[in-house]
Copies of this chain bind each other. A is one copy, B any other.
Amino acid sequence: MSLFPLDKIKPEKEEEGRYYNSHYFNYDGQQQVRLEYRFPKCSLTADCVVFGFDGKDLHILLIERGIEAFKGMWALPGGFMNPNETIEECAERELWEETKVRDVYKEQFGVFSAIDRDPRCRVVTVGFVALVRKSDFEVIGGSDAKKAQWFKEDELPPLAFDHEEIVKAARNHLKERMRIEPIAFNLLNEKFSISELQQVYEAIKGENYDRRNFYRKMISSGYLQNEGKSEEPTPNRRPDLFSFDTKQFKEDETDNPSQTDSLLF
């Protein structure tokens, strides 16, 4: 179908705050229409990279796509932004619809806008990253998702769209946040041993730390309060438990930021 040259179309009307051009003409005896917006349009989606920590490893929450494109493949939970919501609201809604996970702190980490990244139409996506305790959520597939499931981050299946690239960018973002914020403590019980803390740091950073140096650095930070011995029966001697002094940390964050760096790697 050959359409009327776009440069002959002048702006005509405004409706609901949207300007567009429309032009009617006859082509092969059929009446045709071309409707053209004044500003270029695309579709916008939010995609969520939810990392779940199980005490040892990081996992990523994926859905099996129940619709085209990439039907049957695994993908990040996400979907199209509606006209009546912000991109944050879209991320929250889509994650809930597709996995029944909600009320998770998420932050943007990047916009992915390669022209052909979606075979359906021009779609630009905003990536959101979250870090949770895996056991806090029961994931259930729904909406456009046939299934929802956790995968160990180093055992992901092939992913739809450019989602492998998005996961990689989310992983880097997480490591960077760790150098600015003590995000590890959100993944622990209120009382934890230093070796549990080290597990979290190592899982997020993807590298191992020397046990003694880690212990020394954490204790000397001044933010860990000794809460006595663990009550759990263990094969070795019962470890000391600690809690994180959130109040002191928050005070120092404004008054004495270089002190808070003692927690960061």
Contacts and interface: CB of A to CB of B under 8 A. Distances in A.
Give the most central of A37, A121, A261, A265: most B CB within 10 Å. Answer: A121
Contact of A42 (B35, B42, B176, B180): B42
Contact of A179 (B108, B110, B122, B180): B180
Contacts of A261: 261
Nearest to A34: B35
Interface stretch (A78-86, A135-143, A226-234): A78-86
A235 interface: no
A69 B19 CA distance: 13
A242 B265 CA distance: 28
Interface stretch (A92-100, A112-120, A149-157): A112-120
Interface in A85-109: 85-88, 108
Contact of A108 (B19, B40, B111, B265): B111
Contact of A113 (B87, B176, B257): B87
Give the most central of A41, A81, A261: most B CB within 10 Å. Answer: A41
B19 A121 contact: yes
A237 interface: no
A19 B120 contact: yes
Contacts of A218: none
A87 B115 contact: no
A49 to B, nearest CB: 15
Interface in A41-79: 41-44
A22 interface: yes
A-B residue pairs, 8 tightest by C-beta = A41-B41, A87-B113, A35-B35, A39-B43, A86-B113, A18-B121, A33-B33, A39-B80
Interface of A: 1, 15, 17-19, 22, 24, 31, 33, 35, 37-44, 80-88, 108, 110-111, 113-115, 119-124, 126, 176, 179-180, 257-258, 261, 265
